[in-house]
Protein backbone atom coordinates (compact mmCIF):
# COMPACT_ATOMS: atom_id res chain seq x y z
CA UNK A 1 0.00 0.00 0.00
CA UNK A 2 1.10 3.55 -0.66
CA UNK A 3 -0.09 7.05 0.13
CA UNK A 4 0.40 10.26 -1.80
CA UNK A 5 2.55 12.86 -0.08
CA UNK A 6 2.65 16.57 -0.94
CA UNK A 7 5.84 18.50 -0.21
CA UNK A 8 6.43 22.24 -0.57
CA UNK A 9 9.64 23.14 -2.37
CA UNK A 10 11.76 26.22 -1.66
CA UNK A 11 9.65 28.25 -4.10
CA UNK A 12 6.35 27.29 -2.53
CA UNK A 13 5.32 24.88 -5.27
CA UNK A 14 3.92 21.45 -4.47
CA UNK A 15 5.90 18.30 -5.21
CA UNK A 16 3.97 15.05 -5.09
CA UNK A 17 4.97 11.42 -4.81
CA UNK A 18 3.92 8.05 -3.47
CA UNK A 19 5.30 6.84 -0.15
CA UNK A 20 5.59 3.12 0.52
CA UNK A 21 6.20 1.94 4.09
CA UNK A 22 7.08 -1.59 5.23
CA UNK A 23 4.25 -3.53 6.88
CA UNK A 24 6.45 -4.38 9.83
CA UNK A 25 6.50 -1.41 12.21
CA UNK A 26 9.84 0.17 13.05
CA UNK A 27 10.79 3.32 14.94
CA UNK A 28 12.80 4.46 11.94
CA UNK A 29 13.07 3.21 8.39
CA UNK A 30 15.90 3.46 5.89
CA UNK A 31 14.54 5.32 2.86
CA UNK A 32 15.17 5.14 -0.87
CA UNK A 33 14.13 8.02 -3.10
CA UNK A 34 13.09 6.70 -6.52
CA UNK A 35 13.45 9.06 -9.49
CA UNK A 36 11.69 8.03 -12.68
CA UNK A 37 12.77 8.59 -16.26
CA UNK A 38 11.50 11.62 -18.19
CA UNK A 39 7.95 11.08 -19.34
CA UNK A 40 7.44 8.11 -17.05
CA UNK A 41 5.13 7.87 -14.08
CA UNK A 42 5.66 6.98 -10.45
CA UNK A 43 2.56 4.82 -10.83
CA UNK A 44 3.95 2.60 -13.58
CA UNK A 45 4.06 -1.12 -12.82
CA UNK A 46 7.89 -1.20 -12.73
CA UNK A 47 8.05 1.59 -10.13
CA UNK A 48 5.36 -0.04 -8.01
CA UNK A 49 7.01 -3.44 -8.30
CA UNK A 50 10.39 -2.05 -7.26
CA UNK A 51 8.90 -0.16 -4.32
CA UNK A 52 7.07 -3.27 -3.10
CA UNK A 53 10.32 -5.22 -3.34
CA UNK A 54 12.03 -2.66 -1.10
CA UNK A 55 9.35 -2.54 1.59
CA UNK A 56 9.47 -6.33 1.90
CA UNK A 57 13.07 -5.84 2.99
CA UNK A 58 12.15 -3.21 5.56
CA UNK A 59 13.11 -0.22 3.38
CA UNK A 60 10.70 2.69 2.84
CA UNK A 61 10.43 4.04 -0.71
CA UNK A 62 9.29 7.37 -2.09
CA UNK A 63 8.46 7.50 -5.81
CA UNK A 64 8.90 11.11 -6.87
CA UNK A 65 6.86 12.84 -9.57
CA UNK A 66 8.66 15.71 -11.34
CA UNK A 67 6.07 17.27 -13.64
CA UNK A 68 7.84 20.47 -14.75
CA UNK A 69 10.04 18.53 -17.18
CA UNK A 70 7.12 17.56 -19.40
CA UNK A 71 4.87 20.58 -18.88
CA UNK A 72 3.14 21.88 -22.00
CA UNK A 73 5.15 24.67 -23.62
CA UNK A 74 8.30 24.00 -21.58
CA UNK A 75 9.98 21.77 -24.17
CA UNK A 76 12.72 24.27 -25.09
CA UNK A 77 12.92 26.11 -21.77
CA UNK A 78 16.28 26.18 -20.03
CA UNK A 79 16.88 25.77 -16.32
CA UNK A 80 14.53 22.78 -16.01
CA UNK A 81 17.34 20.45 -14.96
CA UNK A 82 18.44 22.84 -12.19
CA UNK A 83 14.82 23.06 -10.99
CA UNK A 84 14.54 19.27 -10.96
CA UNK A 85 17.71 18.94 -8.90
CA UNK A 86 16.42 21.57 -6.47
CA UNK A 87 13.15 19.65 -6.15
CA UNK A 88 15.03 16.45 -5.34
CA UNK A 89 17.15 18.25 -2.75
CA UNK A 90 14.00 19.72 -1.17
CA UNK A 91 12.39 16.28 -0.99
CA UNK A 92 15.48 14.83 0.66
CA UNK A 93 15.57 17.72 3.15
CA UNK A 94 11.91 17.04 3.94
CA UNK A 95 12.50 13.38 4.71
CA UNK A 96 15.59 14.16 6.78
CA UNK A 97 13.24 16.05 9.11
CA UNK A 98 10.74 13.21 9.47
CA UNK A 99 10.90 11.19 12.68
CA UNK A 100 10.17 7.88 10.93
CA UNK A 101 13.21 8.15 8.64
CA UNK A 102 16.69 6.98 9.58
CA UNK A 103 18.62 10.04 8.39
CA UNK A 104 21.87 8.08 8.22
CA UNK A 105 20.39 5.55 5.80
CA UNK A 106 18.99 7.44 2.81
CA UNK A 107 19.70 6.25 -0.72
CA UNK A 108 18.65 7.14 -4.27
CA UNK A 109 17.56 4.91 -7.14
CA UNK A 110 17.12 6.57 -10.52
CA UNK A 111 16.03 5.19 -13.89
CA UNK A 112 17.01 6.64 -17.28
CA UNK A 113 17.48 10.40 -16.95
CA UNK A 114 16.40 9.89 -13.34
CA UNK A 115 19.55 7.82 -12.86
CA UNK A 116 21.62 10.66 -14.25
CA UNK A 117 20.00 13.08 -11.80
CA UNK A 118 20.50 10.62 -8.93
CA UNK A 119 24.24 10.65 -9.62
CA UNK A 120 24.29 14.45 -9.83
CA UNK A 121 22.53 14.72 -6.46
CA UNK A 122 24.93 12.22 -4.88
CA UNK A 123 27.84 14.42 -5.97
CA UNK A 124 26.33 17.39 -4.12
CA UNK A 125 24.86 15.90 -0.93
CA UNK A 126 26.93 14.06 1.65
CA UNK A 127 23.75 12.77 3.31
CA UNK A 128 23.30 10.16 0.56
CA UNK A 129 24.40 6.74 1.81
CA UNK A 130 24.38 5.03 -1.60
CA UNK A 131 23.09 5.53 -5.14
CA UNK A 132 21.93 3.16 -7.88
CA UNK A 133 21.55 4.28 -11.48
CA UNK A 134 19.65 2.23 -14.05
CA UNK A 135 20.09 3.02 -17.73
CA UNK A 136 21.53 6.48 -17.04
CA UNK A 137 22.92 8.92 -19.58
CA UNK A 138 26.71 9.23 -19.38
CA UNK A 139 29.19 11.13 -21.57
CA UNK A 140 26.84 10.99 -24.61
CA UNK A 141 29.71 11.82 -26.96
CA UNK A 142 28.02 10.88 -30.25
CA UNK A 143 24.65 12.35 -29.28
CA UNK A 144 26.36 15.54 -28.12
CA UNK A 145 27.71 16.24 -31.61
CA UNK A 146 24.32 15.60 -33.22
CA UNK A 147 22.52 17.73 -30.64
CA UNK A 148 24.67 20.84 -31.05
CA UNK A 149 24.92 20.56 -34.84
CA UNK A 150 21.26 19.91 -35.63
CA UNK A 151 18.78 19.70 -32.75
CA UNK A 152 19.40 22.91 -30.81
CA UNK A 153 19.53 24.98 -34.03
CA UNK A 154 16.09 23.84 -35.17
CA UNK A 155 13.57 26.23 -33.56
CA UNK A 156 10.70 23.84 -34.30
CA UNK A 157 12.34 20.90 -32.58
CA UNK A 158 10.77 20.28 -29.16
CA UNK A 159 12.13 16.86 -28.31
CA UNK A 160 15.13 14.62 -28.86
CA UNK A 161 13.64 11.20 -29.49
CA UNK A 162 15.20 7.85 -28.65
CA UNK A 163 13.68 4.75 -30.27
CA UNK A 164 13.95 1.13 -29.19
CA UNK A 165 13.61 -2.15 -31.07
CA UNK A 166 11.27 -3.18 -28.25
CA UNK A 167 8.72 -0.70 -29.56
CA UNK A 168 9.45 1.85 -26.84
CA UNK A 169 9.84 5.54 -27.67
CA UNK A 170 11.37 8.09 -25.33
CA UNK A 171 11.20 11.86 -25.81
CA UNK A 172 13.39 14.19 -23.79
CA UNK A 173 12.63 17.94 -24.06
CA UNK A 174 15.28 19.86 -26.00
CA UNK A 175 15.67 22.35 -23.14
CA UNK A 176 16.38 19.57 -20.65
CA UNK A 177 18.93 17.94 -22.93
CA UNK A 178 20.56 21.33 -23.51
CA UNK A 179 20.86 21.84 -19.75
CA UNK A 180 22.49 18.42 -19.43
CA UNK A 181 24.88 18.91 -22.35
CA UNK A 182 26.13 22.16 -20.79
CA UNK A 183 26.76 20.46 -17.42
CA UNK A 184 30.08 18.89 -16.45
CA UNK A 185 28.29 15.67 -15.60
CA UNK A 186 31.34 13.42 -15.65
CA UNK A 187 33.15 15.89 -13.40
CA UNK A 188 30.25 15.63 -10.95
CA UNK A 189 30.36 11.83 -11.10
CA UNK A 190 34.04 11.94 -10.14
CA UNK A 191 33.14 13.78 -6.91
CA UNK A 192 30.77 11.10 -5.59
CA UNK A 193 32.06 9.52 -2.38
CA UNK A 194 29.31 7.05 -1.43
CA UNK A 195 29.01 3.49 -2.84
CA UNK A 196 27.58 3.48 -6.36
CA UNK A 197 26.00 0.71 -8.41
CA UNK A 198 25.73 1.43 -12.13
CA UNK A 199 23.13 -0.89 -13.68
CA UNK A 200 22.63 -1.11 -17.41
CA UNK A 201 21.29 -3.66 -19.85
CA UNK A 202 23.85 -4.91 -22.34
CA UNK A 203 21.07 -4.82 -24.93
CA UNK A 204 19.82 -1.30 -24.16
CA UNK A 205 19.39 0.31 -27.59
CA UNK A 206 18.00 3.59 -26.24
CA UNK A 207 20.91 4.59 -24.02
CA UNK A 208 23.86 2.45 -25.06
CA UNK A 209 25.71 0.24 -22.56
CA UNK A 210 28.89 2.24 -23.19
CA UNK A 211 27.27 5.11 -21.27
CA UNK A 212 27.32 2.96 -18.13
CA UNK A 213 30.97 2.14 -18.76
CA UNK A 214 31.82 5.85 -19.05
CA UNK A 215 30.06 6.55 -15.74
CA UNK A 216 31.74 3.63 -13.99
CA UNK A 217 35.20 4.65 -15.19
CA UNK A 218 34.65 8.26 -14.06
CA UNK A 219 33.71 7.22 -10.53
CA UNK A 220 36.45 7.75 -7.96
CA UNK A 221 34.57 6.38 -4.94
CA UNK A 222 36.04 3.43 -3.06
CA UNK A 223 33.02 1.18 -3.59
CA UNK A 224 31.54 0.94 -7.07
CA UNK A 225 30.06 -1.75 -9.29
CA UNK A 226 29.07 -2.04 -12.92
CA UNK A 227 26.08 -4.39 -12.98
CA UNK A 228 25.53 -5.70 -16.52
CA UNK A 229 21.90 -6.72 -16.98
CA UNK A 230 20.82 -9.45 -19.43
CA UNK A 231 20.59 -8.50 -23.10
CA UNK A 232 16.81 -8.98 -23.30
CA UNK A 233 16.01 -6.37 -20.63
CA UNK A 234 14.95 -3.14 -22.40
CA UNK A 235 15.71 0.42 -21.39
CA UNK A 236 12.42 0.65 -19.52
CA UNK A 237 11.78 -2.73 -17.89
CA UNK A 238 8.06 -3.45 -17.79
CA UNK A 239 7.85 -7.23 -17.74
CA UNK A 240 7.36 -8.75 -14.31
CA UNK A 241 10.30 -11.11 -14.86
CA UNK A 242 12.64 -8.22 -15.64
CA UNK A 243 11.44 -6.15 -12.68
CA UNK A 244 12.06 -9.18 -10.43
CA UNK A 245 15.63 -9.55 -11.70
CA UNK A 246 16.45 -5.88 -11.22
CA UNK A 247 14.58 -5.71 -7.91
CA UNK A 248 16.62 -8.59 -6.56
CA UNK A 249 19.89 -6.91 -7.54
CA UNK A 250 18.75 -3.58 -6.08
CA UNK A 251 17.68 -5.21 -2.82
CA UNK A 252 20.98 -7.06 -2.56
CA UNK A 253 22.97 -3.86 -3.04
CA UNK A 254 20.88 -1.89 -0.55
CA UNK A 255 21.07 -4.62 2.08
CA UNK A 256 24.83 -4.29 1.91
CA UNK A 257 25.36 -0.56 1.53
CA UNK A 258 22.29 1.26 2.86
Instruction: Tell me the CATH number at 161.
Output: 3.40.50.1820
Q: Which domain holds residue 110?
A: 2-257
Average pLDDT score over residue span 25-41:
84
Per-residue model confidence (pLDDT) at position 215: 97
Q: HEC string of 221-245?
A: CCCEEEEEECCCCCCCCCCHHHHHH
Average pLDDT score over residue span 96-125:
95
- Rounded to the nearest 5°, which phi and psi values hold at 99? -65, -25
Residues 22, 58: Cα–Cα separation, whole Å:
5
Q: What is the pLDDT of residues 174-209, one digit of tens each?
A: 888 889 989 999 999 999 999 999 999 999 988 899
Per-residue model confidence (pLDDT) at position 6: 93
How many domains in the chain? Answer: 1
Q: Is residue 227 within 8 Å of 202, Cβ to Cβ?
A: no
The dihedral through the CA atoms of 110, 112, 114, 115 has a sign that is positive
Per-residue model confidence (pLDDT) at position 257: 98
Amino acid sequence: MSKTIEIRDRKGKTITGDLYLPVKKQDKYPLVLMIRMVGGSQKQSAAIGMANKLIKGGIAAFCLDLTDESAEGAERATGILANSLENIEDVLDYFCKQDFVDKKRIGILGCGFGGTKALMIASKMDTIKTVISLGALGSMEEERKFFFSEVINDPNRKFMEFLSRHGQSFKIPVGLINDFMLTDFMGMVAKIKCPVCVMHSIGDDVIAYKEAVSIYEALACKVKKLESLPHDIPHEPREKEHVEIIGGLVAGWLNKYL
